[in-house]
């Protein structure tokens, strides 16, 4: 069975290892947990966010607005209004 335990060995700095070994066990446990959280956050890598326009994401969707303008990326005037209303409220990114 795989374990989610991560071990950290300190090499190259015996003074620091000796100081950490003298700490109470509760402090050592907390230090290990915090170090694990820190390492996991550092190791996470996310792809940079790229905005994709609806007209490029959905080029086959088109409708004509009530004033006669063609909008690409939406299937209806109601959908267009809903998307923009949600975006103005901050629901959509």
CA 20 remoteness from chain centre: 33
Banded model confidence at residue 21, pLDDT cuts 50, 70, 90:
confident
Cα within 13 Å of Cα(56), Cβ side: 4
Domain residue ranges of the chain, discontinuous segments joined by +: 14-43, 54-89
Q: Report the relative pairing of strands 70-72 and 62-64 from DSSP bridges.
A: antiparallel
- Find the mean pLDDT for residues 53-75: 92
Q: How many Cβ atoms from other residues are within 10 Å of residue 54's Cβ? A: 14
Q: What is this structure's pTM?
A: 0.45
CA 43 remoteness from chain centre: 13
């Amino acid at each position: 069975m795989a374990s989610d335990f991560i071990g950290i060995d300190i090499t190259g700095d015996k003074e620091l290892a000796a100081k950490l070994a003298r700490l109470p066990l509760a402090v050592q446990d907390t230090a290990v947990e915090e170090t694990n959280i820190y390492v996991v956050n550092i190791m996470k890598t996310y792809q940079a966010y790229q905005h994709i326009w609806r007209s490029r994401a959905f080029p086959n969707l088109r409708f004509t607005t009530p004033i006669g303008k063609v909008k690409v990326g939406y299937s209806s005037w109601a959908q267009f209004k809903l998307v923009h209303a949600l975006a103005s409220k901050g629901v959509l990114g």
